[in-house]
Structure 1
C-alpha cells in the first residue's frame, strides 16, 4: 500500500512510519522538523524509518515540508492510498502563548489534508485527535465519545475543530475518515518534554523528579505500541469511517504516584520537588475505550506500570544518544 504519514518524524508518526515500512508498505513522510522539541530526535526517527524501509520489502521517503502548504499536501496525497495525519503543533501550555499558530497548523493544515483526500479518492484518512478536547472535568470520568467536549486550552480547541472537520467531511463528502482521540502517549523515543521522560531522566541523574501542582492530576497513559495497533487496524476495516474513537489504556494513575514509582525504581533516596501548575493543564484524563473495543477490537496491552518499566529499560539502553536530547529540552 502507498501510505502518507504527515508529522512522520515526530514521536507517534515516526513509530507509524517505521511500522508500516517494516510491514512492506511504501511510506512517504511529510514533516517540517519544527523545533518545538529536539530536531535531532526527529532526525533520528527519520533514520529509523529509512532503515525499516531498507531492511524490509517496503520503502521510506522523507519530504521536508509543511501541512500548511496546500499545494505540497495535494501533491503527496495524490500519490497515496491511505493518509495518517499526525502532523500538529503540540503543546498545551505553549498554545496559550501563540494560539493562532495552533489554528493555522492544526485546523488549516488538517483542512488541506482533507481537501486533498476528498479530491483524490483516498481509501482512508486517519486524523490524530487528543484527549485534550474533553477539558478534564472529573464528573464525566471516564470520558466517552458522547460526553461534552470542553477544551480548556487553545491546543485542545484546535484538535476539536480538526476532528469536527474530519467527521463533517465524512458526512458531507462521503470521505472515508476517522478521528482517533489519543490519551497521553508514551514509550521509546517519546518527546523529551513529557512528564515520564523528565521523571526518569532526573531520577537517573540523581535529581528529584519535579511535579507540577500537588500531583493529584489523573492521567490515562497509553503505550505507543497500542496506538500503532489501533491505527494499523484502520488499513483493513471501514467500520470506523465517520467516527471519533478514544484510544487509551483504560487505566489511570495520579502524577505524584507516577513520580514516586519512577523514583523508587531508580533512586529511592530522592525526595520529590514541586513547582507551580499551569492553568491550561487538565485535571484528569481517563478513556472509556468501549467504542474502540467494539468497532476495532482494540485492547490495550500495557498497564502504566508495565509500560513505564519498559520505557526505563529502553532509556537505559539508549541513554548515550537520547539523554542529551532530554536534558536540552
Structure 2
C-alpha cells in the first residue's frame, strides 16, 4: 500500500512509520512541519532508524500549505496523526495553534479526500474528549472535554463524521489513552520524571499523585493503529486504544524508584487543570474487531523508556 502518515516526526507518528516499513512492502510518505519547538530542536532524531529507508519519503511542510489533491494521488491510506498536543498549553492565546493544526488542517485534508480514491483515513483522537468519567469508558459514552485541547480533537472527530455521512469519506477514529515509551514528548509526565531522576533532580508533580490513567505502551498503540489499515469493514467506527494496566501517578513514581534504585524527592508543581482524575478505556471493541490485546506491562514499558532516556540524556 501507499500510505501517508502526518506528524511523522512525532512520538507516535515516528513509531508508526517504522512499524509500517518493517511489516510489509508499504511505501510510506511522512509529512511533518516540525512546528513544535521540541521537534525544531531534535529535528529528524525520532526518524533516524528509517529516515534513509528506500520506501520512505519525508515531506517537510505545514499541512495547511499542502496541495492535497496532488498529494493524495495513488494513496491508499492516510494516518492523520499530526496535531498540536497537550492539555496544559492549550489555554489562552496558544489555542490559535490548536485551531489551525487540529481543526483547520483536518478540514482541508477531509475536503480533498472527497474527490480522491482514498480507501481509508484514520484520525488520531484522544481520551481527553470524554472528560471526567467513572469506571471503564466505552466508545458510546458522552463526550465532555475539560480543556481546549480536548475540544479541538473532538471538533476534528466531528468533522470526520460530517465528511463521512455527507460525502462518504472513509474515516476511522481512534481514541488513544495516555501513550508512553521511547521518544515520548518531554512535557509528558513519564519523560519528565525519568529525566529528573536521571539528573538527581526533584520530581515535579502536578496534582496530588492519586490521579490514575490507562497507560498505553507505544508498541501496543502502534500495532493496533496499523491493524486498522487492513480491515475493510471499519469505516465510520470510533475505537478506544488503551493499555494493559491502569495506575496512579504515585505508583508510577514507586516503579521508577525500583527501576533506578533511587529515592525520589517530590515537589508539588500545582493543581491539575483541564484533566480528569481518572481514565479507563473499555477496549472490548478493539479486541473484537482488531484482535487487539495490549502486551506490555507498565513496569516493562517504563524500563524501556528509562533505558532510552538514559542513553538520550547521556
User: Does the alignment reach a TM-score above 0.5?
Assistant: yes
CA contact 1:167–1:243 (8 Å) conserved in 2:
no
Match of 2:10 in 1: 10
Larger CA deviation: 25-34 vs 91-100:
91-100
* Cα displacement (A) at 1:246: 0.4
Deviations 1:301-326 (A, max 9, x none): 11222211222223334443xxxxxx
Cα distance in 1 between the residues matched to 2:136 and 2:216: 14
Q: Which stretches in structure 2 are left out of the alignment for 5+ residues?
A: none
2:139 to 135, 145, 162: 145
Match of 2:166 in 1: 172
TM-score, with length taken from structure 1: 0.90
Match of 2:120 in 1: 124
* Cα displacement (A) at 1:254: 0.9
Q: Which stretches in structure 1 are left out of the alignment for 5+ residues?
A: 321-329
- 1:81 pairs with 2:82: no
Deviations 1:126-161 (A, max 9, x none): 0100011011x243x211111111001111011011
TM-score, with length taken from structure 2: 0.94
SS at match of 2:107: helix
Larger CA deviation: 279-288 vs 261-270:
261-270
Cα 1:38/1:235, change in 2 over 3 Å: closer
Match of 1:21 in 2: 21
- 1:115 pairs with 2:116: no
Cα distance in 2 between the residues matched to 1:94 and 1:272: 22
Aligned ranges for residues 181-260 of structure 1 at < 5 Å? Answer: 181-249=175-243, 251-260=245-254
Q: RMSD of aligned C-alpha atoms?
A: 1.7
Deviations 1:216-244 (A, max 9, x none): 11111111111111121122112221011
Larger CA deviation: 120-129 vs 12-21:
12-21
Match of 1:47 in 2: 48
SS at match of 1:300: coil
Match of 1:65 in 2: 61
* Cα displacement (A) at 1:45: 2.1
* Cα displacement (A) at 1:11: 0.7
- 1:299 pairs with 2:293: yes
CA contact 1:96–1:154 (8 Å) conserved in 2:
yes
Match of 1:326 in 2: none
Larger CA deviation: 35-44 vs 119-128:
35-44
1:279 to 273, 279, 295: 273
SS at match of 2:64: coil
Cα distance in 2 between the residues matched to 1:30 and 1:6: 5
SS at match of 2:245: coil
